[in-house]
Structure 1
Amino acid sequence: MEVVGVTLGDVTVEHKLFDGVNFPILCPGNVSDHLEKIRKLKYKESDVFIMSYPRSGTHWVREIVAMLLKGKAEYIVNDNIDFPLELLDIDTIEREASPRIFYSHMPFRFLPQDHIERNGKVIGCFRNPKDVITSSFHFLNNLITSNLNWDAFCDAALNGNVTYGSWFDWRDNWKTTLKQHAENPPLTVTYEDTSKDLRKQIGRIADYLEVTYTEALINDIAHMCEFKNMKAAKSRQKSDMMKRIDDGIHQLDGVELDNINENIVQNSVVRKGIVGDWKSIFTSDQIEKFNAMYRHRSIPDHQLEFKEYLED
């Protein structure tokens, strides 16, 4: 493991580089040792792992999963594990009562081996990477006091020099996962499909989880998980997650706290939730650079070839 930094205008963001992945600087201790503890976690049949590149609708899907497992359209409260799995300490993970609904932005290969070998439930979330980059920029900009440079951030994101690396690498890793587990593949959902037909995607998730449900339950969950309703409710609850970020930053050595927004806890992880927000910030040159990169790394005739992401 080594600590690497990328300069984004007046701000330098540090990561812990391990096995080709830029883990957040908040990852506990030595990344290798911490991930080994995660890999050794014991399987629990009701565990569900939601995997995604950051800002891809993870929290949205997590709420849907929680409601389906509970059989009731109620938001998650008193959430002790509302943080990426790889950033949680092992004691917190092991103390959590079942059903445990974890989320993670690291590659599938780092999940608990017992869960993988027993074909435990895993859901992968995808979103138009241009919207992902846009949302990531605004999220990071809310954590710091200096104005983050959009051009520098966009270039870093397209080149994979951001937290968790390249979206293309993450997608390709998921492609490998689907191939390796073809007999019992994880479920793949997209932000755009969920936005277009929420009820249908809730049904797909319910079928994958093998839970009993009624049309009335699907309708109730769809109402609660309409983005405007969820944002109104969850923005008040997500302060626990933001507090974890705030506490973690203040415990780091060498952090210039003058650059950290003192109102982190009041910020919300839930933002606009719209499809196509990238059009408000991407320049024509950036669109062309992205499209060229996407065409170069296309995977024809595969479910992860999202041609609509090339729209101008």
Structure 2
Amino acid sequence: MTTKENESSSECGGHPSYPKEFNGLPVEIDYDGAGRPFPSVIVDDQKFSPGIINHMIPGGNIVEHLETIRNIIARDDDVLICTYPKSGTHWIWEIVSMLRKGKAEYDPRIKETTMLEFLTKEQIEGLESPRILNTHFPLRMLPKDLLDKKRKLIHVMRNPKDVAVSTYHHFKAMGTGDNAYLGTFSEYLSLFYALEVGEKGGWNKYVTDFEKFAKDNPDYPILSLYFEDMKQDPKREITKVAKFLDVPYTAELITAVAERCDFENLKKANQEIKDDFITRKVAPDGKQFMYRKGTVGDWKNWFTVAQNELFDESFERWMSGSELKFKFVL
């Protein structure tokens, strides 16, 4: 196995001291492979970056915002897309948008305009129906009324090795902001273990909570998809989505949606058509960073043999008792 990473890490220097609380909430410190500290605010056994809270959460009060989200009033035609970060959220949101319109046309908005993390109560209520809401929030933080009224929910999963690589590049692209990462992938991998697959809000808990919910509620309208299946046979998976949404469709529409939602076409549309205010707000050079490769198996270019073996051993432990089956290559 080859790896693209041969660079040496920059010096860490002296570590800043972090308070044990943030707005009255407990703070935990995790460390990357070079010993850099990364604080997380703990809310309902979930880790949140202080930088994300300060820059993205309306009002900067995560507790109040989560309460707002929990109390959203459902509409009859709401659809909620739930994904762990870097698992195809933009992709599935665009697919659902096109299918509900019955046209393979890009929405000029970006999916963040309907993302629960970023919206105030007034903004959510001001969205025109039918709403295609989306979120990275875990199951336990979803709007209660949407779940009680059994509004349709789409959950997309991606293998955690590619999630790790994609997350690393996502934070690297942020330059020197609060959420930027300055180390190497090898150093980041230790942080990924701590942040993304730990007991508090990790990848494994996210996907297995949805798995358990679907098993415990067999009559709930939830569609679970794999990123890798969507990549392998997009027309088949898009047809599944159309049937789930109960919208009229033709083979021609499915083909057109698959083509327009091909990764490179989505990336181009994001640059040329969409109002990507997130990039302007976050990226120091103004370049889009939401779309990088969108492939399956890029992890092989970044993991060493030893890292891969350790990850495989850990993966078996994380997913003990789960029936989910992930593809790491195609």
Q: Same fold (TM over 0.5)?
A: yes
Q: What is the RMSD of the two structures over their aligned residues, measured on CA atoms?
A: 2.4
Q: 1:14 to 1:221 in 2, by over 3 A?
A: same
Residues 48 and 102 in structure 1, CA contact (< 8 A), matched pair in contact too: yes
Alignment partner of 2:289 out of 264, 268, 281: 268
Partner of 1:118: 149
TM-score with structure 2 setting the length: 0.81
Is 1:92 the counterpart of 2:123? The answer is: yes
Is 1:151 the counterpart of 2:160? The answer is: no
Partner of 1:241: 278
Measured in 1, the distance between the counterparts of 2:240 and 2:155 equals: 13
Residues 82 and 136 in structure 2, CA contact (< 8 A), matched pair in contact too: yes
Partner of 1:182: 218
> Letter of the aligned partner of 1:102 in structure 2?
L
Q: 1:171 to 1:137 in 2, by over 3 A?
A: same
Higher mean alpha-carbon deviation, 151-160 vs 278-287, is at 151-160
Q: 1:112 to 1:305 in 2, by over 3 A?
A: same
Q: 1:234 to 1:162 in 2, by over 3 A?
A: farther
Measured in 1, the distance between the counterparts of 2:70 and 2:184 equals: 37
Partner of 2:301: 280
Is 1:33 the counterpart of 2:64? The answer is: yes
- Determine helix, strand or coil for the equivalent of 2:239: helix
Is 1:305 the counterpart of 2:325? The answer is: yes
- Determine helix, strand or coil for the equivalent of 2:195: coil
Measured in 1, the distance between the counterparts of 2:87 and 2:243 equals: 21
Residues 239 and 266 in structure 1, CA contact (< 8 A), matched pair in contact too: no
Measured in 2, the distance between the counterparts of 1:168 and 1:141 equals: 23
Aligned residues: 292
> Letter of the aligned partner of 2:147 in structure 1?
I
- Determine helix, strand or coil for the equivalent of 1:61: helix
Higher mean alpha-carbon deviation, 162-171 vs 112-121, is at 162-171
Q: 1:110 to 1:90 in 2, by over 3 A?
A: same
Partner of 2:259: 223
Residues 5 and 14 in structure 1, CA contact (< 8 A), matched pair in contact too: yes
Measured in 1, the distance between the counterparts of 2:111 and 2:293 equals: 25
Alignment partner of 1:108 out of 133, 136, 139: 139
Misfit runs of 4+, over 6 Å: none
Q: 1:138 to 1:162 in 2, by over 3 A?
A: farther
Q: 1:83 to 1:117 in 2, by over 3 A?
A: closer
Higher mean alpha-carbon deviation, 212-221 vs 173-182, is at 173-182
> Letter of the aligned partner of 1:305 in structure 2?
K
Question: For 1:224-249, what per-residue CA distance to the aligned partner results, in whole angstroms no more than 9, with x for missing partners?
Answer: 011121111123436312234x3xxx
Q: 1:227 to 1:81 in 2, by over 3 A?
A: closer
Q: What is the CA-CA distance between 1:153 and the residue it aligns to?
A: 1.4
Q: What is the CA-CA distance between 1:222 and the residue it aligns to?
A: 1.0
TM-score with structure 1 setting the length: 0.85
- Determine helix, strand or coil for the equivalent of 1:124: strand
Partner of 1:296: 317
- Determine helix, strand or coil for the equivalent of 1:266: coil
Q: What is the CA-CA distance between 1:100 and the residue it aligns to?
A: 1.6
Measured in 2, the distance between the counterparts of 1:83 and 1:14 equals: 28
Q: What is the CA-CA distance between 1:217 and the residue it aligns to?
A: 1.1
Q: What is the CA-CA distance between 1:179 and the residue it aligns to?
A: 2.2
**Stretches of structure 2 lacking an aligned partner (at least 5 in a row):** 1-24
Is 1:129 the counterpart of 2:134? The answer is: no
Measured in 2, the distance between the counterparts of 1:189 and 1:115 equals: 20
Partner of 1:23: 48
Q: What is the CA-CA distance between 1:125 and the residue it aligns to?
A: 0.7
Residues 197 and 205 in structure 2, CA contact (< 8 A), matched pair in contact too: no
Q: 1:98 to 1:13 in 2, by over 3 A?
A: farther
Measured in 2, the distance between the counterparts of 1:56 and 1:288 equals: 23
Measured in 1, the distance between the counterparts of 2:267 and 2:192 equals: 26
Residues 239 and 268 in structure 1, CA contact (< 8 A), matched pair in contact too: no
Q: 1:141 to 1:162 in 2, by over 3 A?
A: farther
> Letter of the aligned partner of 1:293 in structure 2?
S
Q: 1:76 to 1:12 in 2, by over 3 A?
A: farther
- Determine helix, strand or coil for the equivalent of 1:49: strand
Partner of 1:255: none
Residues 49 and 103 in structure 1, CA contact (< 8 A), matched pair in contact too: yes
